[in-house]
Copies of this chain bind each other. A is one copy, B any other.
């Protein structure tokens, strides 16, 4: 697999992974949602090397996840803020946080708690069906090829057959 063409794969997971699929990028996005916006603040709070930080920010800007906004003119300085496309990553970050809360906490408990401004309560995120509102699980979902699908893979066909037989 060549990572530079991953974003053209006929798969929405692969295309998203092309944008956010590495450790530093996910941690940078966490900081964005915690309202970190400046180069040195990202660097200080993450301990990422400046080289990689510059690289990742550039990439996120190129993909339209972040936008550079000038906050000072002399010398020119920019803040990195989330675009709508970036804000739309929120469910990904929240589901990552939630899985960590459930499966990776130590004895001290959760590092962070979330309060819903709308209803005022502490909450967990729940993923539901847009049509009926019921919570989703892997087993309650059927996958179909869509209009942008590649020709069906023999490997998946074989695996599906085995699953039916065994």
Contact = CB atoms under 8 A, between A and B. Distances in A.
Interface of A: 1, 3, 6-8, 10-23, 26-27, 30, 33-38, 41, 44-48, 64, 71, 82, 85, 87-106, 108-119, 121-134, 136-150, 153, 155-156, 158-160, 163, 166
The 8 closest A-B pairs by CB, nearest first: A12-B100, A109-B147, A119-B132, A15-B104, A110-B146, A108-B148, A16-B100, A91-B95
Given A45-B156, A108-B148, A117-B141, 19 more contacts: A1-B46, A3-B23, A10-B111, A11-B112, A12-B100, A12-B104, A17-B27, A19-B104, A20-B96, A22-B23, A35-B156, A35-B160, A36-B159, A111-B149, A113-B143, A115-B141, A118-B134, A119-B132, A126-B129
A63 to B, nearest CB: 9
A21 B92 CA distance: 12
Contact of A130 (B33, B109, B125): B125
A128 B129 contact: no
A64 B14 CA distance: 24
B130 A123 contact: yes
A93 B18 CA distance: 14
SS of A interface (majority): mixed
A138 B108 contact: no
Contacts of A37: 159
